[in-house]
Chain A
Amino acid sequence: MPTVTKIQAQRAIIGIIQDMIQDWDLDLDEPIGANSKLAQDIEFSSIDVIQLIVSIEEYFKQKMGFHELLMNDGRYVDDLSVSELAAFVSTKLDGAQP
Chain B
Amino acid sequence: MPVLRLPETTLNYLQMDERPDPTAPPLDLVLVHGLAANLAFWYHLAPALAAQYRVTMVDLRGHGRSGMPATGYTPAVLAQDVLALLDHLGLERVHLLGHSFGGSVCLHLALAHPERLASLLLADVRLRLLQPQQRVQDWPHWERLGPNLKELGIHIDEAGHEAGYQLLEEVMRFQLRGSDASVFPKLLAQWLPIGGGKRTAQHWIKLLDTTSARQDFIALEDFTQTDLAQLTLPLLAVYGEQSMAVKTARQLQELWTQARFEFIPQAGHFFPLSQPEKFVMSIQNFLNTPCPSARTAV
Q: Which residues of A contact B (CB under 8 A)?
A: 24, 39, 43-51, 54, 65, 67, 70-71, 74-76
Q: Measured between alpha carbons, how far is A45 from B40 in the docked complex, in Å?
A: 9
CB <8 Å contact, B44 and A50:
no
Q: Measured between alpha carbons, how far is A70 from B44 in the docked complex, in Å?
A: 8
CB <8 Å contact, A43 and B199:
yes
Of A39, A43, A65, A76, which contacts B44 at CB under 8 A? A76
Q: Is B14 an interface residue (CB 8 A)?
A: yes
What 3 A-B pairs have minimum CB-CB distances, sorted nearest first?
A46-B40, A47-B64, A47-B38
Of A45, A54, A67, A75, which contacts B1 at CB under 8 A? A54
Known: A43-B197, A50-B14, A51-B1. A67 touches B43 (CB 8 A): yes
Of A39, A44, A47, A70, which contacts B65 at CB under 8 A? A47
Q: Which residues of B contact A (CB under 8 A)?
A: 1, 12, 14, 38-41, 43-44, 46-47, 59, 64-65, 196-200, 203, 273, 276-277
Q: Measured between alpha carbons, how far is A76 from B272 in the docked complex, in Å?
A: 12
Q: A45-B196, A47-B40, A67-B46 are in contact. List 13 more A-B contacts (CB 8 A).
A: A43-B197, A43-B198, A44-B199, A46-B38, A46-B196, A47-B59, A48-B199, A50-B14, A54-B1, A67-B47, A71-B44, A75-B44, A76-B44
B64 / chain A contacts, CB cutoff of 8 Å:
47
Min CB gap A22→B, angstroms: 15
Min CB gap B86→A, angstroms: 21
Min CB gap B72→A, angstroms: 20
Min CB gap B194→A, angstroms: 12
Of A45, A50, A70, A76, which contacts B197 at CB under 8 A? A45
CB nearest to B276 among chain A residues: A74
CB nearest to B18 among chain A residues: A63
CB nearest to A39 among chain B residues: B197
A75 / chain B contacts, CB cutoff of 8 Å:
44, 273
Could you list 16 examples of A-B contacts with CB < 8 Å? A24-B199, A39-B197, A44-B199, A45-B196, A45-B199, A47-B12, A47-B39, A49-B40, A67-B43, A67-B46, A70-B43, A71-B44, A74-B44, A74-B277, A75-B273, A76-B44
CB nearest to B2 among chain A residues: A54
CB <8 Å contact, B44 and A67:
yes
CB nearest to B193 among chain A residues: A46
Q: Measured between alpha carbons, how far is A75 from B275 in the docked complex, in Å?
A: 9
Q: Measured between alpha carbons, how far is A44 from B196 in the docked complex, in Å?
A: 9
Min CB gap A67→B, angstroms: 5
Min CB gap A37→B, angstroms: 11
CB <8 Å contact, B277 and A65:
no
Q: Measured between alpha carbons, how far is A45 from B100 in the docked complex, in Å?
A: 20
CB <8 Å contact, A44 and B197:
yes
CB <8 Å contact, A50 and B39:
yes
